[in-house]
């Protein structure tokens, strides 16, 4: 399965982001804590060169806690300000504002020396589709000021949001990059739902997911579905279909339905807190 998804509006959004970069002081990039590398757009590093950088490990409540702490250190060692985030909760926002101020400390001091006082920090919020940007902004601002949705590509335009006298946010549409050089990246993004399901072979994706789970999180699938994890991956998917009553007319197994069920159980954390990739050692 070759996964690529780069609709036309993403090209336009990237150009707009490049033009707006000169207006902002810090780039806040949301990544999915379950895939902290695969959900980080490599184009942002080029576009945001010279800007203060902040990484929000969003949906950390769905990710393996020990792995998230490893990723937090990994990104901090690369010079990013890093924060573990559940964007649905507004109680963390005070700490994020403090981190934004710390990240832009040099800029704020430079402004003071020039006689510019109380100019708000301007932050651009970026991230791939379905990573939770709009939910983050809504929680941050305390009102529904950005559209939210559980499907990729809801935010299409540009939105400035004044949070308080200290911070202004520029929301941007979620964008991917033109080509996944590593198809494992595309598969991980498909697993978390950042690529539309109707573009995918869900059965193949589910089989890959089963292979990962039996290797790195043994016992979870057998505990959830009462299946034998020693079986072949395809046979294990068939067992899930049988146990969960995913049947076609004539009693044939509906592995497509079982695949959707399995992936949805992962995405909604019914399988527990799982991270699909680990930092480089």
Residue ranges for the binding site?
Answer: 58-61, 130-135, 174
What are the angstrom distances between the C-alpha of 227 and each of 9, 84, 213, 243, 248?
Answer: 43, 34, 13, 8, 20
Residue with the two structure tokens 């710390």: 102
Strands (E), 33-176: 52-58, 81-85, 121-126, 159-162, 167-171
Q: Are 107 and 27 in contact (CB under 8 A)?
A: no
d(CA 124, CA 131): 15
d(CA 104, CA 75): 18
Q: Are strands 167-171 and 159-162 parallel, antiparallel or unpaired?
A: antiparallel
Q: Which region holds residue 214: left if phi is over 0, alpha if psi is between -120 and 50, else beta?
A: alpha
Q: Which residue ranges make up the annotated binding site for GTP?
A: 58-61, 130-135, 174
Q: Which of 261, 236, 187, 181 is nearest to 1 (CA)?
A: 187
Question: What is the three-class DSSP state of 113?
Answer: helix
């Amino acid at each position: 399965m070759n996964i690529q998804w780069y609709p036309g509006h993403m090209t336009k959004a990237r150009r707009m982001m490049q033009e707006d970069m000169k207006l902002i002081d810090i780039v806040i990039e949301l990544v999915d804590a379950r895939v902290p590398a695969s959900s980080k757009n490599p184009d942002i590093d080029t576009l945001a060169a010279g800007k203060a950088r902040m990484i929000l490990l969003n949906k950390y409540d769905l990710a393996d806690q020990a792995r998230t702490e490893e990723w937090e250190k990994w990104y901090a060692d690369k010079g990013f300000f890093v924060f573990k985030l559940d964007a649905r909760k507004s109680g963390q926002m005070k700490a994020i504002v403090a981190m934004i101020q710390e990240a832009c400390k040099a800029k704020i001091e430079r402004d003071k020396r020039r006689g510019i006082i109380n100019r708000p920090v301007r932050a651009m919020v970026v991230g791939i589709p379905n990573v939770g940007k709009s939910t983050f902004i809504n929680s941050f601002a305390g009102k529904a000021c950005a559209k939210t949705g559980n499907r990729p590509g809801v935010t299409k335009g540009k939105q400035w949001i004044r949070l308080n006298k200290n911070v202004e946010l520029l929301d941007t549409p979620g964008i991917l990059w033109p080509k996944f050089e590593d198809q494992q990246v595309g598969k991980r993004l498909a697993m978390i739902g950042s690529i539309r399901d109707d573009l995918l072979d869900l059965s193949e994706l589910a089989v890959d997911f089963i292979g990962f789970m039996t290797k790195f999180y043994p016992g979870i699938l057998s505990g959830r579905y009462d299946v034998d994890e020693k079986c072949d991956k395809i046979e294990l998917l068939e067992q899930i279909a049988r146990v969960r009553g995913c049947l076609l007319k004539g009693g044939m197994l509906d592995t497509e339905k079982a695949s959707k069920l399995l992936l949805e159980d992962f995405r909604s954390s019914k399988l527990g807190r799982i991270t699909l990739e680990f930092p480089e050692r």
